[in-house]
Amino acid sequence: MGFSREYFPAVEGDPPPLSTECERRVRFEEVDGLSMVWHGRYPSYLEDGRIRFGDVFGLTYHSFRENRTVAPVVQMHLDYKVPLRFDETMKIRTTLHWTDSAKLNFSYMIYNAKGAVAASGYTVQLLTEVDGTVLLVVPEWLQQFRNRWRTGEFVL
């Protein structure tokens, strides 16, 4: 389905990435004077994708809060391909890539109503304690998620 870029190349032996999709419409407030989505709105689309991912796989903001873990975005990259327009329905594909580190590597593909890639990108989220202390080891609750992922418990 269009352009694809491998931001996080697979490593032999790692489980396959986990992906979800969601749809949303471009709101009037998101377009600029050229009637296309302003580039600064795209990070919120990535957020929509991460929320959907969390709902599907149990990595919600509530679960992070309950486990006193924070995952701030420390790196973000976006490649813009074709503009999105007011009232257009877009599809956001969000993929979590395996890492043994205490971080979350997400990639994103945003498709326009015709199925063309409007944008692609990635975020890296570092795991920390609530006070901002960087975690060097993955917390037990998140390690349980990774164990389920590695054993193929999640349906792709």
CATH of the domain at 69: 3.10.129.10
Q: Residue 90 in 3-state DSSP?
A: strand
101 part of a folded domain: yes
12 part of a folded domain: no
51 part of a folded domain: yes
11 part of a folded domain: no
Give the domain range for residue 76: 18-142
Q: Are 121 and 107 in contact (CB under 8 A)?
A: yes
Calculate what percentage of the chain has a pLDDT beyond 90: 88
153 part of a folded domain: no
Q: Are 123 and 97 in contact (CB under 8 A)?
A: no
44-90 confidence digits (pLDDT tens): 999 999 999 999 999 999 999 999 999 999 999 999 999 999 999 99
Q: Is 0.75 topped by the overall pTM?
A: yes
pLDDT score of 1 more than 70:
no
Calculate what percentage of the chain has a pLDDT beyond 70: 96
Total tally of structural domains belonging to the chain: 1
86 part of a folded domain: yes
Q: What is the residue-averaged pLDDT of the chain?
A: 94
**What is the mean pLDDT of the segment spanning 122-138?**
96
